[in-house]
Structure 1
Amino acid sequence: MIHLYGENYERMQLLRHIGDISQVAEAKIFQLTDGNEKGTDAIGFRTGSGLNFTVLTNRGLDISYADYKGIPLCWRSGTGDVAAAHYEPNGDGWLRGFYGGLLTTCGMTQAGAPNVDEDEALGLHGRASYIPAKNVWVDSRWEGDRYILWAQGKITETRALGEHLCRTRRIWTELGSNKIHIEDIIENLGYQDSPLMYLFHINVGFPILTDGSELLAPSSQVTPRDEHAKDNLSNYNCGEPPTVDFKEQVYYHQMEPDVDNHIRVALVNRSFNDNKGIGIAVRYHKTQFPHFVQWKLCSQGNYVMGLEPSNCRVDGRASEREQGSLQHIEPGGRRHYEVEISVLTSNAEINVLEEKIKDNRK
């Protein structure tokens, strides 16, 4: 059964009302042609529920934008959807093309701060988001009374005489849905162990982030990354107004999973639209992502909260190695990662999720 426009429809019942399925939902390929975005291939998804999002195939199959009924769900920087050819790998050059968006992937062999690890200089957050995808497959089909839409493709992080990692990503949703599903498989196609650092940089912005917004999470421990974050620990889970010279704050969370070992977190704005409420929820598996990083930046223009499931912290590969926490993937090894991003469309939905999160902490 399809729930659409406040009604429930069976497949044939719906199809009798339309000329083509693209009238209500589609995944459509297009290309950006202007300035430093030129040549970037994109896929626009419409689910019919009001959820729309854009996937950039030339930028690692990341999600550069999303909205719900015209309400932006993510923060966007001023860089635009910079084409992969403009990638600056050294130091903080990654930021030159960091558009923000709903999802920017960090990894696969480095995530976090620039550093030097075993004589190799590593830039901010690695290469994954700047690698164009190959074998891209965009399609949709009926499965009973469900209509599934997806994009799939592969990126390869490799070099001669070095690592050879391949990631297959499938992003899917369905007609009438408020959810986006991301399924990744990373494989080591090389013949030596490779470092594996992987982080989902989910960037929530205004109007979900605002003064009075709240982070809901089953956190058993919250650890500030530095002294500045420590000074503001009592306010870690609250949105603040855009502030001049606001310095970023980063917190590491230890989370209590549910009975299926899943974690649910959300950023919510209960006062939105005359107290009707709106939020973004993220669901992931704790075994796949044992860490959660919260990035809080309430600066003017740079107004964003990052919800970041990861298998590492964000001080870079050298730090992970030094602490003995650096993950590796063996030759022929495979790692699976699944994340669900959903829209909370009302305070009623927010309250239901909050109760589930509270149950995790009992």
Structure 2
Amino acid sequence: MDFSKKDWLDKVSHVAQVGGIETSILDNGRGRGTRIAWVNTGTGLRFKVVIDRAMDISDAYFNQFNLSWISKLGVTGPQPFSDRDTDWLRTFGGGLLVTCGLTHVGGPETDAFGSRGLHDQISNIPAEIIHIKQPDLLNGDREMSITGKMLQGHALGHNIELIRTIRCYLGDPTLYIEDEVQNVGNSDAPHMLLYHFNFGWPLVDAGTQILWNGKWQPRESGESNKIFKEGNDFKICPEPREDHRGSGEEAAFISPISDDEGNCQCGLFNEKLNFAVMLTFKKEQLPWLTNWQHWGQGEYVTGLEPGTHPPLGQKQMRECKELVFLKPKEKKVYQLALTILDKQEAIQAFKNNMQNI
């Protein structure tokens, strides 16, 4: 729909005919009682925000095509004590975005500073919704947004607040995420954050191009490293792999190249479907990118994950003196955008940019 033209205004009674935000509560299965919000941009891009899971995003579509990988669990309600060992996986429904952190990103670990489970707590914390804005058609305001607040922490310990705003505009196939992370406690708090974007079929299919540019290193080593080797074409999605049944997976840690304005880009292009997904973020805010590849049968997914650190854990980052600390009242802001590209010129420009920057 061309929202720059005004003739359609006389034909619309309610904003829901063209887009907007609708909140609801799931009433069945593992997600029963979980609050959600459907966001419709009016361009074919629509997605489900799971309010009770840190305002992460599960289902996402462009026209009739699914974008996200959803695990067999689907949406589950928040489990506040899933931060031990690998219990996080028991609530990992996948979806377009799962937020990891806010103090630890990586596998389970223990050191002199405590024990931490896989990917920490934030994705199992419900949001307090503080604002929902709908488009105002009569006054030409195309903006829609939903803002929520989450607190990770406990009495006599670290307390970090996340205020997340997800914003879209009618007629623009882009979702914008702005996160404000603040130490609201009274002592310095360690801080790690990872945006675990999970893409699935049919966007991800054999032949889909994985687009990123930067110096990289494999997470696995020796015989465990089968994918991320020099000479391997690991930026083309393969058919499902037998060795990825169960826990088979690999990842690469990337220092993404930024443009003159400090922006990094990555994404996916499916030539058969003739559209691309482009993820944009700030190098200064999120200097690392992880490409996770898991090509199991019936569990076929790749992740593009901007982060403050590679997901190697608080312990290792502390030892190499790269762990970030937030002082009391200190705040950091993170901004990301996910855009659908379905015009050939825009797709080609994106691909060229990934080769040239």
TMscore range, shorter length: over 0.9
2:153 matched residue in structure 1: 158
Q: Which amino acid aligns with 1:271?
A: K
- The structural deviation recorded for 1:80 is 1.5
Structure 1's 8 and 192: CA in aligned 2 closer, same or farther, altered over 3 A? Answer: closer
2:60 aligned residue (41, 50, 66): 66
Contact 2:211 2:266 in 1 (8 A): yes
1:177 aligned residue (172, 177, 187): 172
SS in 2 for 1:250: strand
SS in 1 for 2:52: helix
Q: Which amino acid aligns with 1:147?
A: R
% of aligned pairs identical? 28
Q: Which amino acid aligns with 2:179?
A: D
Q: Is 1:209 aligned with 2:207?
A: no
Structure 2 runs not aligned, ≥5 long: none
TM-score (norm: length of structure 2): 0.93
- The structural deviation recorded for 1:8 is 4.8
Contact 1:188 1:333 in 2 (8 A): yes
2:241 matched residue in structure 1: 243
- The structural deviation recorded for 1:243 is 1.8
Q: Deviations over 1:48-71 (max 9, x none)?
A: 111110001110000011001120
Contact 1:117 1:317 in 2 (8 A): no
- The structural deviation recorded for 1:346 is 4.6
Taking the aligned partners of 2:99 and 2:276, their CA distance within structure 1 comes to: 21
Q: Deviations over 1:67-110 (max 9, x none)?
A: 01120001010112110147522111111111111110000011
Q: Which amino acid aligns with 1:62?
A: D
1:262 matched residue in structure 2: 263
2:333 matched residue in structure 1: 336
TM-score (norm: length of structure 1): 0.92
2:282 matched residue in structure 1: 285
Q: CA RMSD in A?
A: 1.7
2:15 aligned residue (11, 21, 30): 21
Taking the aligned partners of 1:287 and 1:119, their CA distance within structure 2 comes to: 28
Count of paired positions: 349
Taking the aligned partners of 2:79 and 2:186, their CA distance within structure 1 comes to: 29
Taking the aligned partners of 1:47 and 1:353, their CA distance within structure 2 comes to: 22
1:253 matched residue in structure 2: 254
Give the alignment of 1:29-44 within 5 angstroms: 29-44=23-38
Give the alignment of 1:121-136 within 5 angstroms: 121-136=115-130
- The structural deviation recorded for 1:160 is 1.2
Contact 1:205 1:305 in 2 (8 A): yes
- The structural deviation recorded for 1:14 is 3.0
Q: Is 1:308 aligned with 2:305?
A: yes
Q: Deviations over 1:125-151 (max 9, x none)?
A: 111111000143222133963411111
Contact 1:110 1:126 in 2 (8 A): yes
Q: Which amino acid aligns with 2:149?
A: K
Q: Deviations over 1:286-318 (max 9, x none)?
A: 000011111011111221110000011112111
- The structural deviation recorded for 1:359 is 3.4
SS in 2 for 1:16: helix
